[in-house]
Structure 1
Amino acid sequence: MSFTQRQQGAITLASGGLLMGTMGIFVEEARLGALTLVFFRCLFGFLALAAYCGWKGFFSRAQFTRRTTALALIAGVLMVTQWVGFFDAIHRTSIAVATVVFHVQPFWVVLIGAALFHERLGADRLGWIATAFAGLVLASGIAAGDNLHGHTSYLVGIGEALAGSVLYASVTLIAKGLGNLRPHLLALVQCAVGVVCLPFIAPLTAQHIAPMQWFWLIGMGVLHTGLSYVLIYGALPKLTTPIIAVLLFVYPLTAIAVDALVYGRALSVPQLAGMALIVVASLGVNLGWPLFSMLRPRARRHAE
């Protein structure tokens, strides 16, 4: 049986999402602080991506102008900061909650893009965005008081995941201005920023890291930064926007399943309903589904 290019792209993107969905296990099992986790993710991710880019012949002076280098470095600072916040959010909340909250980032892209480029959002898109943030309130557990019990740590974790989603949205908008710079090289720069900058922020030592912890750290770099990015970036050009919009949710859905099956931390019914609202709203925004506009013809007919 031969696969078409679109089928290959769909399988590849879904595989990348499934792989990313297991990253929370590596974060939990490594049992290290967020700064240390991100440093070693960047280190091993840089080595994996550098080997791949070298093998594919991606390195060339034409890829890096003064402007693209500056933008890539800014994106790197934002991305590394987002990784630190996201990993700490997993420690404070759970894999599922942190991942679901983080996945409102497409809506920040729309809102920030509208603010910067003076784009008109329209009632439908604003309606879907409002739906997504209603889903966020449910999914986070704040509305029902799930897991809170007066602990500020959980709320801090929610805030970190939400702030991370804003930072990732900013990186997405910067990436759109990088022209023909390959996304693999952008990811490589991001890892390089983490390797260079993080030791200045917090002292890092490898003396007290056990052999099994090294397995999880290397896995985060090679699998969740090297292989997963290669799979995802390689698949995107082969797929249409609707297929991409649907398959991007393989990642959070896998993370929810992993948290429930491995750690017994299943989301409550309201949280699952919130996740469903975020998924539907994301598809509505990306695919241009009508929300209010489909009600207008009916209202007009009734008025007549």
Structure 2
Amino acid sequence: MPTSIDRLPASRPGLLAFSGAAVLMGTMGVFVAQAGLDPITTVFYRCVFGLATMALYCAWKGYFRSQRFTRRMLGLALLSGVLMVSQWVFFFGALERVGIAVATVVFHVQPFWVILLGAAIFRERVGVAKSAWICTAFVGLALAAGIGWSTLSADRTYLTGIGFTLVASVLYAGVTLIAKALGALRPHWLTMIQCAVGVVSLPWLAPSGALTQVNLHQWGWLVGLGVLHTGISYALIYGAVPKLSVPVIAVLQFIYPLTAVLVDWLVYGRALTPLQGLGVALIVLASLGVNLGWSLTRGIGCANRVRALK
């Protein structure tokens, strides 16, 4: 007999939905790796199946009848589509160069780019506490990326992957800022427009013949990227966020990178080093500090209490 989720406390359905979506997103790197295609082709098919899935969901929920557009809204949505599709291409390119765990963890410095871009574009005041957390996050970034003198001098492929990840995180920060300006546009519609931009634009950029050279075993992974990691995951997140408080979302968002780290270890045997683990901890701490408005001293106190419990 199915469980009646509607009878659970108001926040419980959102908690389950957001957590489930985050776990799904943490498996995305495996689908990208197993598909074994170039990033542009992989993103194209993600957009195709993601657009179809989200369109079916919106038709089921009746969202096509209720949305109204202005020129400004449509223009910003199309710009967000260019940024999002480019972000996916760079991130998928990073996955094949540095691995799932490192790429996903490094990508999660994205909230700090949002703060810095907001300060540069809108002249928003950053403040001492946020500046300290940003510095903490980028120290964590250097540790999590595993960048040392030997890497800087020898491993160009790895450094390119880290660079791709940082570009992807900056592009996603731009998407985030645009989404905030599009409060009147339902996020499901925004996802459909972003996917539509990819469907229209990427065939012109794909390597010659790549879109038609897909083997039978690759189709399942591509469908999964569109259906599971775009349509279903995004629908779950969009439905969950209004039911959750900011502190809860701040904590739950790390299920995604932690799942990616676990999956990379279980499937491909790639484990983070202790220094990389410290970097992850610093990024998590800094992100919580920014989202929850902690002072740096409070964050250090929380970290010390965690170590004491261990």
Interval containing the TM-score (normalised by the shorter chain):
over 0.9
* Structure 1 match to 2:304: none
Aligned match of 2:185: 181
The amino acid across from 2:198 in the alignment is G
Q: Where in structure 2 are the equivalents of 1:140-289 lying within 5 Å?
A: 140-143=145-148, 145=150, 150-202=154-206, 203-289=208-294
Deviation at 1:151, TM superposition (A): 2.2
- How many pairs were matched up? 294
Q: Would you tell me which structure has more helix in proportion to its own residues? A: 2
Counterpart residue number, 1:64: 69
The one-character-per-residue Cα deviations of 1:205-238 (angstroms, maximum 9, x if unpaired) are 4543221100000000000000000111110000
User: Greater CA deviation, 154-163 or 111-120?
Assistant: 111-120
Q: What is the deviation of 1:117?
A: 2.0
Q: CA–CA distance in 1 between the matches of 2:66 and 2:58?
A: 14
Which 10-residue stretch deviates more, 284-293 or 43-52? 284-293
| Superposition CA RMSD, Å | 1.8
Indicate conservation of the 8 Å contact 1:12/1:235, yes or no.
yes
Please, what TM-score do these two structures have when normalized by structure 2? 0.91
Q: Is the 8 A contact 2:54 2:188 kept in 1?
A: yes
Aligned to 1:16: 21
1:123 to 128, 135, 144: 128
2:308 aligned residue: none
Per the alignment, residue 300 of structure 1 pairs with: none
Q: 1:27, CA displacement in angstroms?
A: 0.5
Q: Structure 1: state its 5+ residue gaps.
A: 296-304
Query: Which whole-Å CA distance do the structure 2 matches of 1:237 and 1:67 have between them?
Result: 25
Superposed, 1:62-101 pairs within 5 Å as: 62-101=67-106
Question: For the Cα contact (< 8 Å) 1:36–1:204, is it kept in 2?
Answer: no
Paired position in structure 1 for 2:296: 291
The 1:90–1:198 alpha-carbon spacing in structure 2 relative to 1, beyond 3 Å, is same
Residue 27 (1) aligns with residue 70 (2): no
Query: Is this contact kept in 2: 1:127–1:292, CA < 8 A?
Result: no
Helix, strand or coil at the partner of 1:63? coil
Structure 1 residue 143 displacement after superposition: 3.1
**C-alpha distance in 1, partners of 2:37/2:290?**
37
- Residue 63 of structure 2 aligns to a residue whose secondary structure is coil
TM-score by length of 1: 0.93
Shift of 1:61: 7.1
What secondary structure sits across from 2:57 in the alignment?
helix
**Contact 2:35–2:221 at 8 Å: present in 1 too?**
yes
Q: Could you report, residue by residue, the CA deviation over 1:71-123 in whole angstroms, capped at 9, with x for unpaired residues?
A: 00000000000000000000011000110111000001111112222222111
Summarize the Cα distance change of 1:293–1:101 in structure 2 as closer, same or farther, 3 Å threshold: closer
Distance in 1 of aligned mates of 2:140 and 2:67: 44
8 Å Cα contact 1:98/1:161 also seen in 2: yes
Kept in 1, the 8 Å contact 2:93–2:161? The answer is yes
